Structure 1
């Protein structure tokens, strides 16, 4: 990726943001960004083949990077692991400077034609959080952790969009409840493993699950199937 490519996309993104509140992540916004950033239309299309959709994804990726930068600068060592996850999600939301841009993004990625892009973006956020917090799982847990956190993050974003409480305190309380729900699931899984009867019942499914491995060289999405072990 060349610096010129990165700089051009960033210029287009910054030029687009003032228009998003009025026209959403639409072709009208993209055309206005091309004009305002003084970028040749052919160059703009080379950088963003899908126009505003690519800019919306770039905006999401920028938020992920801001979250990662903050995670690196904060000392979370004194926190419980569930609180580190909550902090990461909170940092991700606090990195957003334009709530309307996110609101318009949820509308865009709710469309059937772009739903896969939206799901992949949220999965990428969950993956970035788990990786930053030191996750080393390489089996089915790699997927379940990210799938669960994707659900937590996605539902929290929707709640946050409608939250008008002071300093978004209602959102942080909602986030804590969602993470508590997840921890209850993990507690139940541990109880199943410790129960002699249930653990025997799950022996077959668990053996099958052990054949599922984390992605390898595929950008984290999707994974691969290694086949049953003899």
Structure 2
């Protein structure tokens, strides 16, 4: 006689082993159907317990499978029993991801319980409010523009995320309030809950720090009501990726503004502080940049490289069809990139020195290699042999040498620098011809020279 199967344990083991399709097929198999329905109560806690804050990122398939399984539970389970279990899971949720995954099945169960909506909805909303109240509210003693940094606090971000989950949850019930036959008690419950969202209770004190209002699927306006002053900050709220992107956007805005102060304050923390203030953030935001001026130089290099690529894309492509890489286009690319330094020419020697610091070398090397690779590609180099490396290392050397020459060039329209670039390209062509004559014999010397050249370009040979 076949032994009965513990459906809860069976589904749990399938999910743990990554057999998501098999797990989702269990409820529809006839031999498990009855047992599945009888054990939905226990299954809810098991499924929710598998969700961690990073599950959606690290194991998106598991997260999706758990969502689908909970949706099946909503269909198969007794609504009243399942609702009580979901409410309990809110109260014992160990992280915000567990809270988030409960919201939709909880909503679906409430919609199914239309006849008993009032009391059930009140229980759910009370549990949600309790979960929010349990999140610690930081008491930063910030003043003025420093208050804009509140949204970088971990707990403030948690509150914003939780608030972003609520409008999709309560929207169907709010819509029901507009119907002529809407239950008065339900109206009172929802109204009280919405008002409570404006007040986060902490101990015996009342705060009205945040209200999240949806703009679109990825952003919220966070309104700060502190000391009687209302301010609005647009922040990303949906996922950890959004948080990271939001922080990166802030950094880019600060760096872009900081460039306006480089001519006065140099490639320094002072420029970053002024840039932060110009972007609407407190000066202490320069702490977002651990490498100080090095991060500002890196941003400038990356931005200039991107501008150069956009320009090269618009250049005529006729000559690129020829077997030989057009020297004139390489010359134009190098000069275009070098002349982007013009607004900061007086401060660029300091920028070059900053790039040789050990913590800045990786970024410096990455942007230089990206630059020469972009120039080679957009000027028609499609080589896949040893020449691929030779051309890029050679071009990197030409660029850095030309950059140094440019700093001492006082000729009109930098004509001396253009002549210098043209001469170096001509020399490189002669070297290329020599290498092509006997590439195997000169390969070791070439690699050694390339390595030394790279060290010289970064200033590593001068470091003690």
The equivalent position to 1:10 in structure 2, one of 243, 246, 252, is: 252
The alignment partner of 2:267 has SS state of coil
Where does residue 67 of structure 1 map in the other structure?
Answer: 308
> Corresponding residue for 1:227?
none
Which ranges of structure 1 fall in alignment gaps of 5 or more residues?
A: 194-198, 210-230
- Say whether the 8 Å CA contact 1:21–1:104 is kept in structure 2: no
Q: CA deviation at 1:37?
A: 1.7
Tell me whether 148-157 or 94-103 shows the greater mean CA deviation. Answer: 94-103
TM-score of the two chains, using structure 2 as the length reference: 0.38
Asked if residue 124 in structure 1 is aligned to residue 365 in structure 2, the reply is: no
State the secondary structure of the residue aligned to 1:8.
Answer: helix
1:224 match: none
Per chain length, whose mean CA-contact separation is higher, i.e. which structure has more relative contact order (CA < 8 Å, sep 6+)? 1
Deviation at 1:154, TM superposition (A): 0.3
Question: Is this contact kept in 2: 1:19–1:29, CA < 8 A?
Answer: yes
Coordinate RMSD, CA, aligned: 2.9
Q: List 4+ stretches of structure 1 deviating above 6 A.
A: none
Task: Work out the CA distance in 1 between the residues paired with 2:426 and 2:334.
Answer: 14
Q: Distance in 1 between matches of 2:251 and 2:377?
A: 26
Q: Report the CA distance between 1:93 and its aligned residue.
A: 1.9
Structure 1 length-normalised TM: 0.72
| Residue number in structure 1 paired with 2:338 | 93
Partner of 2:326: 81
User: 1: CA distance between counterparts of 2:425 and 2:346?
Assistant: 26
What SS does the aligned partner of 1:92 have? helix
Counterpart check, 1:50 vs 2:291: yes
Q: Which runs of 5+ in 2 are unaligned?
A: 1-240, 448-464
2:423 counterpart of 1:182? no
Q: Is residue 266 of structure 2 the alignment partner of residue 21 of structure 1?
A: no
User: 1:169 aligned to 2:415?
Assistant: yes
Q: How many residues of Structure 1 are paired with residues of Structure 2 in the alignment?
A: 198
Secondary structure at the aligned position of 1:39 is classed as coil
Kept in 1: contact 2:319–2:326 (CA 8 A): no
- Name the CA distance, whole Å, in 1 between partners of 2:254 and 2:342: 17
- More strand, by proportion: 2
Taking a change above 3 Å as real, the CA distance of residues 111 and 22 of structure 1, as seen in their structure-2 partners, is farther
Give the Cα separation in 2 of the matches to 1:16 and 1:105: 14
Alignment CA distance shift 1:172-1:93 (3 Å) = same
Other-structure match for 2:167 = none
